[in-house]
Amino acid sequence: MTDTSLRLRVIPAIAEINAAAWDACANPALEAAAQAKSEAADPIESFTLKSDYNPFISYDFLHALEVSGSATARTG
């Protein structure tokens, strides 16, 4: 029988998570878009492929919010 239980763990800071692992989950199309961009001859085509990227859920953006104090329990 397959285990269908779910485990949840709260991480107090994004710095405790591997950046590459986070970005692979948050923006999985990014790596594929980068590969396609390097292979594309048409700059419009490469832009379209990269448009699936969401910078607001990237590790770097969230880490910057946390480090600057913009995203804390006090500020919400």
Residue matched to tokens 């448009």: 51
Render pLDDT for 11-54 as a digit per residue (tens, 0 to 9): 999 999 999 999 999 988 776 666 666 666 555 555 554 567 88
- Is residue 8 over pLDDT 80? yes
CA separation, residue 20 to residues 3, 43, 53, 58, 59 (Å): 28, 26, 15, 10, 8
Query: pTM higher than 0.85, yes or no?
Result: no
